[in-house]
Amino acid sequence: MGATIVVGTDGSDASLDAMRWALEEARARDGRLVVVHAWHVPNVPGPMGLPLMTVPREDLERNARAVLDAAIRHLDRGHVEVQPELIEAHPVEALLTMGAGADLLVVGSRGLGGFKRLLLGSVSHQIALHAPCPVVIVPATADG
């Protein structure tokens, strides 16, 4: 078997662009595509600093599965094996873990830069800094 290409998706246009790029790369390398969507229970502080659960865990997981399934439906797989991976973790943690056994890790970029990246953090930036394999960051398209 050829290369293992791992790509992250959150359902955004930028991540769908990255998935399409990664699919073509997997096809060119006669490999397989692992599509990762990470989810986690948000830590919303409640009284006395205890976590406040606002949405049932099962609903969060079901919604995450729907995002992953919808993203994969956008792919024209052809003869490429596509393996969906739903992981309960922060996106950076999930992608770095999956990237440990990959030949290439692909993420999209929404084009946030400078001050916005400092405030929000950037999955693509963290992946570029810490990935255990080569990384491709697919830039946001001009129209998106």
Residues 6+ apart with CB under 8 A from 114: none
Nearest to 132 by CA among 109, 108, 103, 90: 103
What is the domain partition of the chain in residue ranges? Answer: 38-74
Confidence of residue 123 (pLDDT cuts 50, 70, 90): confident
Question: How far, in Å, are 17, 41, 105 from residue 135 at the CA level?
Answer: 15, 27, 5
What is the C-alpha to C-alpha distance for residues 106 and 71, in angstroms, rounded to an integer? 15
For 56-96, how does the pLDDT look when each residue is reduced to its tens digit (9 = 90+)? 889 999 999 999 999 999 888 888 999 999 999 999 999 99
For 21-66, how does the pLDDT look when each residue is reduced to its tens digit (9 = 90+)? 999 999 999 999 999 999 988 776 777 766 666 778 899 999 999 9
CB neighbours (10 Å) of residue 46?
A: 10
Look up tokens 């790509």; give the residue. Answer: 7
C-beta of residue 19 within 8 angstroms of C-beta of residue 8? no
Tokens of residue 65, six digits? 């599965």
Stated pTM of the model: 0.85
C-beta of residue 42 within 8 angstroms of C-beta of residue 68? no
Mean pLDDT of 122-131: 89
Fill in the amino acid letter for 111: G
